[in-house]
Amino acid sequence: MNLRKQHAIFALILCLVSVSSNSSAVTIDMEGIAPTANISNETNSTNNFFGFNVFVASGHYIDSAWPGAGTIRAGNGTDYLGIDSILDVTITHANGDPFNILSFDATDVFIDGGFIPNLVFEVSGVLNGGGTVSQNFTTDADTSFETF
């Protein structure tokens, strides 16, 4: 899955995926990477969540208790991933198996002290039999996370 947007922070909170081989669903959340009440700096880094690798070109895992977040925080109190600038996030199954993304949560961008509503972003994937698929999504004007 690739997400792209220039000069922005875009927050991704979780992804509900199913693994095709056994049809079980797994929730990938962003808990446990950011230091307690702090933020991590991620540059070309990969973290494993429940058997899925999440690669971040440039971003930050943000603990929900980090005071520096101010009002830029997930409304449900969970940790989240803020992605910087020209963003790329890639999710792969750790053992290479194909999988389906059933849903994910995201919110608007935060630039220069304010949220920019109605963000349009692209999610693309590689099909198991070859080829690619892409879909554009648009956030609403509410800064809370929404499920796509």
Over residues 51-107, the pLDDT tens digits come to: 888 898 888 888 888 887 766 666 667 788 888 755 678 888 899 888 888 888 887
Q: What is the Rg, in whole angstroms, of the alpha carbon atoms belonging to the chain?
A: 15
Taking CB atoms within 8 Å and a gap of at least 24, the contacts of 17-20 are: 17/52, 17/91, 17/99, 17/100, 17/101, 17/102, 18/99, 18/100, 18/102, 19/51, 19/93, 19/97, 19/98, 19/99, 20/97, 20/98, 20/99, 20/100, 20/128
pLDDT band with cut points at 50, 70 and 90 for residue 2: very low
At 102, phi and psi to the nearest 5? -85, -35
Side chain identity, residue 15: C
pTM, 2 dp: 0.76
pLDDT given for residue 46 in this prediction: 93
The predicted pLDDT at position 23 comes to: 57
pLDDT at 45: 92
